[in-house]
Structure 1
Amino acid sequence: MSETGAPVKEQRVTKQRLAVSAALDDLNDFVSTQELHRILHERGVAVSLATSYRILQSMAEDGAVDVLRNPEGEAVYRRCTAAEHHHHLLCRNCGKAVEIEAPAVESWAAEIAAKHGYTEPSHTVEIIGLCPECTVKLHGAR
């Protein structure tokens, strides 16, 4: 079962899917589909951009990768390091992401959903700002 309670569909393990998974394992930061596609081609892996996109989407649906929108609105992906539901602080300057737990957000989302008669709520929270390093670079020590 997925996080939403829906059955998880079985994914066919292909050479391309394994290559995408291995590349994500080697990366510490979020990566766009185009960046990942470039990395795969540099490694000699023959995979189309469309296939890279489908694999990343599938992995996101399965909870195997985190997906965020960068400041330009482009989806970026990273191997999910937290096993539980979580949220992110994202630096709008350098792209650094920090995984955070937010129990107050979980309670609020459940309360709002119930108030309006919704069941099985899910949500995504991204807090976008400047990381400490970029704050110092852009504004000096505070």
Structure 2
Amino acid sequence: MYERILVATDGSSGTEAILDHAIATAEPYDATVTPLYVVDSRVVRSASDRDPDDVREELESAGEDALATAADRLEDAGIDVETERRNGNPEREILSVADDIDADLVVLGSHGKSPREKVAGLGSVSESVVKNADRPVMVTRLPDE
């Protein structure tokens, strides 16, 4: 049923819960899991008081750390892993990578790092992916931080 599972991560503490669900789903099918981190170009552009290149580099470094952590967790569970990092709009990049790898399932958290999203319950990225995906999406409720 599942051969390729895409897991979107922003490197937050909720990533553990997302990975737990991805592992539980992947194990019975021996599926490959692709953790994805998107450097949000909107954040880079909106950092008016800082050099955009510095902001991009910080986000790229955070992304590499997040992907390494996710890959280690998945590999420790015996899951085949292929990581992806993209730059751009998170909603579009998640959907694009899902198409590129022909994911059978997209797994993501219920909200991002912003306080507004935590209060609202379903974040803007999650909501957009659910509305626009042409494949199953598993939205994982994240623990309160």
Give the TM-score category using the shorter length: under 0.3
Q: Return the TM-score normalized by structure 2.
A: 0.27
Q: Return the TM-score normalized by structure 1.
A: 0.27
Say which structure is richer in helix. 2
Tell me which of the two structures has the higher relative contact order, counting C-alpha pairs closer than 8 angstroms and 6 or more residues apart.
2
